Amino acid sequence: MADISNQLPGHNCGACGMARCDLFADALSEGRAPLSDCPVLLQERYGENRTRIQTMLAEPRSRGTLPSEAISPRAGNLVGLIDGYEADFVLVPLRGECSCREILLPITPGCAGAGDVIRYRPLGCPITHFAQIIEKRDGLLVVHIVGPRHRLDDPGFTFTDVGVCMVIGFEGDVEGKLPFVGQTVRFKPAECMMQKVHSGVVVKCEGRTVLIEGLDLKVWTPPVRS
pLDDT in tens, 166-210: 999 999 999 888 999 999 999 999 888 778 899 999 999 999 999
Cα distance between residue 218 and residue 197, in whole Å? 8
**Superfamily, domain 2-65:** Electron transport complex subunit B, putative Fe-S cluster (1.10.15.40)
Domain boundaries, the chain: 2-65, 89-216
Q: At what angle do helices 21-29 and 47-58 cross, to 10 degrees?
A: 40
| pLDDT band (50, 70, 90) for residue 67 | very low
First vs last Cα of the chain: how many Å apart? 50
Cα distance between residue 174 and residue 208, in whole Å? 5
| pLDDT band (50, 70, 90) for residue 56 | confident
Average pLDDT for the chain: 81
Model confidence pLDDT, tens digit, residues 9-52: 888 887 787 778 888 888 888 777 888 888 888 888 888 888 88
| pLDDT band (50, 70, 90) for residue 222 | low
